Amino acid sequence: MRVLLAEDEPHLCEQIKKLLNAEGRVVDVANSGLDALHLGATEPYDMIILDLGLPERDGISILREWRNEGVKTPVLILTARDGWSERVDGLDAGADDYMTKPFHMPELAARVRAILRRQSGQLNPVIEMGNVILDTRNGRVTADGVPVDLTAQEIAVLTYLAHNSGRMISRSELSEHIYEYDGDRDSNTIAVFVTRLRKKLGTDLITTVRGRGYMIDSA
């Protein structure tokens, strides 16, 4: 799952990115309001973490512009201010959740997971796919109860397909959600990751829709 992190505090930004990477998220970083506005409007993110106090353009106006342009990506706002009116303004502008700085990283991770589950219709953080279980809280995967070691990109592919079970996902869509903005988005490597997942987790887990993409059954 791909996340836009719009935050201008370098240390906090690095902490959040490290946290999300550890859970298998791909994170793009915007350190200014103008960069955040552009990326949020043009890239297919699964969610956005938006600091309201960005330089060049404030978070509330960015959020309003996204919503006016029809951007439906879920947004969690971060604010260093404790005033209730700003939180209300953010929620009324279209935010899905908020956190006030300072906050505990495990709580941020839990709120991100909850937003992503709601977005995909998954109610449980633990996704069962036959004999394969994916724990989205820590990226751990088991097959027949045995832990399976997956690479970061293999986890990213599996997580995106699992969150969208029952829907055919094209290679191009997968590549948009597992690579960072400036990464090498080679959709041909998706087939390599799928092959590795089948070898590690079983050949029946991921179905190939010939000429279109891949799917994990929703049953």
What pLDDT, on a 0 to 100 scale, did the predictor assign at position 183? 60
Task: Indicate whether 17 and 116 sit together in one domain.
Answer: yes
Pairing of strands 140-143, 132-135: antiparallel
DSSP assignment letter at 170: E
What pLDDT, on a 0 to 100 scale, did the predictor assign at position 118? 86
184 pLDDT band, cuts 50/70/90, is low
24 pLDDT band, cuts 50/70/90, is confident
Extract the tokens encoding 6. 């719009």
Task: Indicate whether 75 and 134 sit together in one domain.
Answer: no
Task: Indicate whether 133 and 168 sit together in one domain.
Answer: yes
What pLDDT, on a 0 to 100 scale, did the predictor assign at position 4? 97
In whole angstroms, give the CA distance from residue 118 to residue 112: 10
With 90 as the cut, is the pLDDT of residue 77 above it? yes
What is the rounded average pLDDT of the residues 20-37? 93
* Angle CA 180–105–177, to nearest 5: 20
Measured distance between the N- and C-terminal CA atoms of the chain, rounded to whole angstroms: 21
Task: Indicate whether 65 and 154 sit together in one domain.
Answer: no
Extract the tokens encoding 197. 């997942």
Q: List, for residues 99-115, the tens digit of each pLDDT value.
A: 999 999 999 999 999 99
Extract the tokens encoding 45. 């993110």
Which of 116, 112, 120, 119 has its CA nearest to residue 167? 120
Q: List, for residues 145-164, the tens digit of each pLDDT value.
A: 999 999 988 998 999 999 89
Task: Indicate whether 89 and 173 sit together in one domain.
Answer: no
Q: Is the CB of residue 67 less than 8 Å from the CB of residue 94?
A: yes
Q: What is the CATH number of the domain that holds 23?
A: 3.40.50.2300
212 vs 133, higher pLDDT? 133
CA 9 vs. chain centroid, Å, equals 21
In whole angstroms, give the CA distance from residue 172 to residue 145: 32
Q: What is the CATH number of the domain that holds 173?
A: 1.10.10.10
Task: Indicate whether 21 and 107 sit together in one domain.
Answer: yes
185 pLDDT band, cuts 50/70/90, is low
- Residue pointed to by tokens 């109610």: 123
Task: Indicate whether 34 and 106 sit together in one domain.
Answer: yes
The SS3 assignment for 60 reads: helix
168 pLDDT band, cuts 50/70/90, is very high
Give residues with Cβ within 8 angstroms of 77, minimum separation 6. 50, 51, 52, 59, 63, 87, 90, 95, 97, 98, 99
Task: Indicate whether 101 and 13 sit together in one domain.
Answer: yes
Give the percent of the chain with pLDDT over 90: 67
Extract the tokens encoding 211. 């000429």
Domain range for 19 is 2-120
127 vs 124, higher pLDDT? 127
What are the b/e assignments for 121-131, b being 16+ CB within 10 Å? Answer: ebeeeebebee
Task: Indicate whether 6 and 109 sit together in one domain.
Answer: yes
Query: What torsion do the CA atoms of 93, 102, 139, 45 make, to the nearest 10 degrees?
Result: 30
Task: Indicate whether 201 and 130 sit together in one domain.
Answer: yes
Number of structural domains found in the chain = 2
Give the percent of the chain with pLDDT over 70: 95
Q: Kindly report the pTM of this predicted structure.
A: 0.80
